[in-house]
Amino acid sequence: MAISGGYDTQVFSFRLNSIREAWAQPLILRLLRVQHDPRRAVLESVIQNTVATLGYPAPRAIAATADTSVLGGAFLVMARVLGRPMLGDRWLGVASTLAEMQLRLHALDAGPILEGMDAIGARDAVTFDGLLTRFHDRIGRHALDGLRPAMEWLVHHRPSAPARPVICHGDFHPQNVLMAEGRVTGVLDWPNTVVADPAYDIASTRIILSLVPIGLAGVPAGMRALVRAVRPLLLARYLAVYRRQQPLDGHTLAYYEAASGMRQLLRVAEAHLSGNLTPLDTSEFGARVAARFAALTGVRASPIP
């Protein structure tokens, strides 16, 4: 059965009659779209299983393959987590719960993630150096001249390496956090994971919470006016709760917000080039991110080829 998913994948729920314990439970099939590197399914499975082993509520992957010949795209199969997206379950306390779950993630040892990537020869897939290299390569591959000055700014203004890099989810927002009966049951969607300064993860969430149009953020229609009105308060509360336990340097946070903005700008640019446009790509989101990048850096970035 198809269920609602993100912009990047098709998601199906199913159940098998199986004598193997791992398969005898409600399952999710996450099928990557054709524009994605097929290796991503395998990387996601390693990340999710490693984080789950560390005690964090990520769904365990049971199988993953980069072979696109079976279903037309790479895919992974994972245990289905019960619950509803956070904003579908409640809105009071969203900011605090989001920050507390992110703090819990950042408290984990990042070493096992790097070791897991080393085991499959893919460490660069989860390092910030690797992320910047991929940004640069994608700009060159698609001749995205409007993003070259922005990329140069990111390279020349990079802060010092953090004393303790952490596991950054990279797409941590209310619709990726499931809840049931007032507690978090699972955190979904791990393809953007990076071992980096925690400010990168906070900045990525800040971009999403502040710039994604309300109607496209998974907010139930009946709550959109309320969320639009309290959005600045939600963001301020989220940052305050996080800072209460972990300090955030303003200049460092600004840099990583620009870096997170580049990731979103590249996504929008490549969607326009391929024609695989989602409602987010055709919305004002790209223009909002470009304006935010300019405000942070003084550099104009154009995502439209």
pTM of the model: 0.94
Predicted confidence band at 303 (pLDDT cuts at 50, 70, 90)? confident
pLDDT at residue 92, as a whole number? 65
Contact predicate 211/181, CB 8 Å: no
Q: Is 104 exposed, middle or buried (0-12, 13-18, 19+ CB in 10 A)?
A: middle
Q: Say if 2-79 and 84-297 have the same CATH topology.
A: no
Instruction: Indicate the class that CATH gives domain 84-297.
Output: alpha beta
Task: Tell me the per-residue pLDDT of 120-175, one tens digit each, with 9 for 90 and over.
Answer: 999 999 999 999 999 999 999 999 999 999 999 999 999 999 999 999 999 999 99
CA 136 – CA 64 distance, rounded (Å): 28
Domain ranges across the chain:
2-79, 84-297
CA 23 – CA 283 distance, rounded (Å): 40
Helix (H) or strand (E) holding 135: helix 128-141
Asked whether residue 223 carries a pLDDT value surpassing 80, the answer given is: no
CA 44 – CA 62 distance, rounded (Å): 11
Of the options 3.30.200, 3.30.360, 1.10.20, 3.30.70, the CATH number for the domain spanning 2-79: 3.30.200
CA 126 – CA 43 distance, rounded (Å): 9
